């Protein structure tokens, strides 16, 4: 029988030379059926085994643009050779790997014959073929076909490679195309279009590449499917034209070369004399990803991004705040006292509205991130941080997810968790999505701001830096622990797409910014709205029973009757300013009773009871029942910690919604001090991700098991760390 192997590669890479070296006289020449393309077949046999070898026509790509390409491709899918030997001209690695990547995307078993090594060496090019083999996860054997060097090793490598189930290589073509591909893949799979020949994703890529053969088959087949696919292609084409000023074929080629670029950048080519041939992108990369300059530039760019975000969004955020303030005031005076008003004001406007208030900040940040992403810089950042992340069992592609989640300050774990989709290894992806919630997301910031203002006002910036560092170290160490226990597994080589830099267009960035912002608004209007209503209900019901309410009614009655008596009896003698002082004292007394009642009601509510019942445990970390309510509420959204503390601690005349005054109150409240505050900060960094993030983790990790894990593990970890801080701190202080 023999092992069937096909020699493929670019024209003039040495296929025929290698074919002759292997088969000698045992060959015969014919034609491929129906076309005038020459087909050479031959045999080789020795102690390694028996091989049936075919010399395929030379091609640069596998899209059906030329007859050679159609012939080569049809041969591979129809005859299914056991191995495709890709003959690569070592002196022109980048160009030659382009075809190789396409074989891998097709899901073919590939071995590389790294040919023309003599030419490459003469030109001063030295190639680390072992590393290349590791990064591509296929055998790579150096050869000099003209002298017959390496042919035995090549055949040994082929004979040793017996994997039959090969996962097709998945390259990320950027968000727009990736989304379209996912959609098209599902359609193609369910209708079974060409699935006996190609994997569905590959067929979808061919549609986007405008492949004549596949499109013709499509239009002759299921008309409905063809129309659906064409509609998606048209949509992506329009979107790419509008945002990045490119078309799908261009984008696909860019990303494939980007993938190759990122392989070659990892020290594959050791010496490269021909520096003049560097492209503009390579020249920029020489500076931007330089070992010393690179990190400095990266930090400067990140600082720039956050400075830009925070300074320019301050004003619009305050407009949003005053709008919601006005709205809640208007509703407050328009509606009668009662549950409905409480629901609308506290549940809906303060809950979902509080989250919508962040829209301008989010928008500015996404603008900056879109700029970095569209220009191609973001990919370089991951490339640089890969080495550090690798030590902790994560991956270069994890970096972006961390930054999006609030790695610097003020991100969100929801898009962060979704950003882990770019990770190809499921284990590294899982480790990443379980640790991104430790970052300082935008919702935790007001919590930190509140506590810092109250207890660390002398060292605000330093404290913020400490918090950021704790979050990062914590996340990386937890990742390391997870990767050596529950998600143990090999580190995958870091190969991502490093496409050439491109000049982003303002229109494109604006469209991308808006798309991201809209996602955020949708979340606030749906999930957050629902959750804040639930939380409101938990803090409202069951309320006080009749006897308890009566107690407060009685107190009020006493105050008003006493006051009424006093005022009536002295009305003749009192000056008008004394009168109003009297009246305001009465009002104060009445509102004190109201607040006492509210506090009693809160303590009696479902949330209050939970808070009180947890106190026995949480006192070891320094948290009382009111803090517990806030933390339970924070599970809905971390912003809720601040607003809940506000309600729970509204013990005076001061407006409970005002942050400054809340921090004043906390400062003087019993049981509070820097140690309690620090313990609470630690807890807030590490405990269960918010509700929406948990849902997102479940969806992205593919099971509720991991979502549950993140809730339990993070909370236990957070509690352990807080207790440690509080207890050690109590001894020292
Ligand atoms: P094909 O188009 O892929 O079939 O390439 P050929 O086998 O026809 O080779 C193209 C040219 O490269 C011929 O002149 C070969 O002699 C030469 N060639 C092939 N392999 C090597 C090699 O390893 N080293 C050198 N120096 N030349 C080679
Ligand atoms: Mg030839």
- Surface-to-core class of residue 605, CB atoms within 10 Å of its CB (0-12 exposed, 13-18 middle, 19+ buried): buried
pLDDT higher than threshold 80 for residue 435: yes
Asked if 133 and 157 touch (Cβ cutoff 8 Å), the reply is no
Q: Mind listing the domains of the chain with CATH numbers?
A: 3-161 (3.40.50.300), 175-271 (1.10.287.1770)
Ligand 1 in reach of 15 Cβ (< 6 A): yes
pLDDT higher than threshold 80 for residue 439: yes
Query: By alpha-carbon position, which residue is closest to atom 16 of ligand 1?
Result: 146
CA distance 397 to 385: 9
Asked if 527 and 692 touch (Cβ cutoff 8 Å), the reply is yes
**Each residue of 328-350: pLDDT tens digit?**
888 888 988 888 888 887 778 76
Q: What distance in angstroms lies between residue 67's CA and the mean position of ligand 2's atoms?
A: 15
State the closest ligand 1 atom to the C-alpha of 19, by its place in the atom list counted from 1: 7
Does the reported pTM lie above 0.75? no
Ligand in nearest proximity to the CA of 14:
1
Q: What is the mean pLDDT of residues 642-661?
A: 53
- Which of 140-149, 389-398, 491-500, 683-692 is predicted with the least confidence, judged by mean pLDDT? 491-500
Asked if 111 and 86 touch (Cβ cutoff 8 Å), the reply is yes
Nearest to 72, CA basis, from 126, 10, 23: 10
Helix (H, G, I), strand (E, B) or coil at 125: coil
Q: What distance in angstroms lies between residue 156's CA and the mean position of ligand 2's atoms?
A: 23
Ligand 1 in reach of 20 Cβ (< 6 A): no
CA distance 477 to 716: 16
Residue 570: band (very low, low, confident or very high) from pLDDT cuts 50, 70, 90: low
**Each residue of 17-68: pLDDT tens digit?**
999 999 987 888 888 877 777 888 999 998 888 999 999 999 988 887 788 8
pLDDT higher than threshold 60 for residue 558: yes
Ligand in nearest proximity to the CA of 20:
1
* Number of Cβ within a 10 Å radius of residue 554: 11
């Amino acid at each position: 029988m023999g092992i069937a192997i096909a020699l493929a590669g670019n024209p003039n890479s040495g296929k025929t030379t290698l074919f002759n070296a292997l088969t000698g006289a045992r060959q015969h020449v014919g034609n491929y059926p129906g076309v005038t393309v020459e087909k050479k077949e031959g045999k080789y046999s020795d102690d390694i085994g028996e091989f049936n070898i075919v010399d395929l026509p030379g091609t640069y790509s596998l899209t059906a643009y030329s007859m050679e390409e159609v012939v080569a491709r049809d041969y591979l899918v129809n005859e299914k050779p056991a191995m495709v030997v890709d003959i690569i001209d070592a002196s022109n690695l980048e160009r030659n790997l382009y075809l190789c990547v396409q074989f891998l995307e097709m899901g073919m078993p590939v071995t590389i014959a790294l040919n023309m090594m003599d030419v490459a060496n003469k030109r001063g090019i030295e190639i680390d073929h072992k590393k290349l083999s590791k990064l591509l996860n296929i055998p790579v054997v150096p050869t000099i076909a003209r002298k017959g060097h390496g042919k035995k090793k090549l055949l040994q490598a082929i004979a040793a490679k017996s994997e039959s189930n090969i996962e097709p290589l998945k390259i990320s073509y950027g968000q727009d195309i990736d989304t379209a591909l996912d959609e098209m893949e599902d359609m193609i799979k369910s209708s079974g279009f060409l699935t006996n020949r190609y994997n569905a994703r590959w067929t979808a890529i061919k549609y986007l590449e405008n492949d004549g053969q596949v499109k013709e088959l499509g239009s002759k087949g299921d008309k409905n499917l063809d129309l659906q696919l064409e509609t998606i292609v048209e949509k992506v084409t329009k979107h790419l034209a509008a945002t990045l000023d490119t078309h799908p074929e261009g984008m696909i080629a860019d990303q494939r070369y980007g993938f190759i670029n990122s392989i070659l950048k990892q020290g594959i080519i050791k010496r490269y004399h021909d520096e003049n041939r560097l492209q503009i992108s390579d020249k920029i990369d020489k500076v931007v990803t330089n070992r010393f300059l690179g990190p400095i530039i990266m930090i400067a760019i990140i600082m720039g991004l956050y400075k830009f975000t925070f300074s320019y969004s301050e004003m619009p955020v305050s407009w949003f705040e005053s709008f919601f303030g006005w709205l809640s005031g208007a509703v407050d005076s328009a509606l009668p006292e009662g549950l409905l008003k409480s629901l609308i004001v506290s549940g809906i406007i303060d809950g979902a509205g509080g989250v919508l208030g962040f829209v301008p900040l989010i928008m500015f940040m996404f603008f900056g991130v879109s700029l970095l992403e569209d220009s191609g810089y973001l990919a370089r950042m991951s490339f640089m941080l890969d080495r550090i992340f690798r030590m902790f069992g994560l991956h270069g592609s994890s970096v972006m997810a961390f930054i999006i989640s609030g790695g610097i300050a003020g991100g969100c774990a929801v898009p962060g968790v979704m950003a882990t989709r770019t990770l190809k290894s499921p284990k590294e992806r899982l480790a990443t999505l379980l640790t991104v919630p430790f970052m300082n997301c935008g919702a935790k910031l007001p919590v930190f701001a509140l506590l810092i203002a109250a207890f660390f006002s002398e060292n605000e910036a330093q404290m913020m830096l400490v918090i950021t560092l704790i979050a990062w170290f914590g996340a990386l160490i937890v990742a390391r622990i997870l990767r050596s226990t529950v998600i143990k597994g090999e580190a995958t080589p870091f190969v991502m797409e490093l496409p050439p830099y491109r000049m982003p267009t303002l229109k494109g960035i604006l469209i991308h910014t808006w798309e991201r912002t809209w996602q955020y608004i949708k979340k606030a209007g749906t999930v957050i709205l629902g959750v804040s209503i639930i939380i409101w209900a938990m803090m409202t019901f069951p309320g006080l029973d009749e006897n308890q309410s009566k107690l407060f009614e009685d107190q009020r009655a006493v105050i008003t009757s006493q006051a009424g008596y006093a005022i009536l009896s002295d009305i003749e003698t009192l000056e008008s300013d004394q009168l109003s002082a009297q009246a305001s004292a009465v009002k104060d007394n009445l509102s004190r009773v109201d607040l006492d009642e509210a506090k009693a009601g809160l303590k009696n509510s479902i949330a209050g009871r939970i808070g009180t019942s947890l106190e026995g445990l949480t006192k070891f970390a320094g948290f009382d029942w009111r803090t517990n309510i806030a933390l339970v509420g924070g599970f809905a959204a971390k912003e809720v910690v601040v607003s809940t503390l506000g309600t729970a601690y509204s013990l005076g005349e001061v407006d409970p919604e005002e942050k400054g005054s809340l921090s004043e109150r906390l400062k003087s409240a019993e049981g509070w001090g820097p140690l309690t505050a620090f313990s609470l900060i630690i807890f807030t960094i590490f405990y269960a991700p918010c509700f929406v993030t948990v849902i997102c983790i479940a969806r992205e990790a593919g099971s509720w098991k991991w979502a549950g894990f993140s809730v339990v593990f993070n909370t236990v970890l957070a509690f352990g760390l807080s207790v440690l801080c509080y207890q050690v701190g109590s001894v020292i202080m």
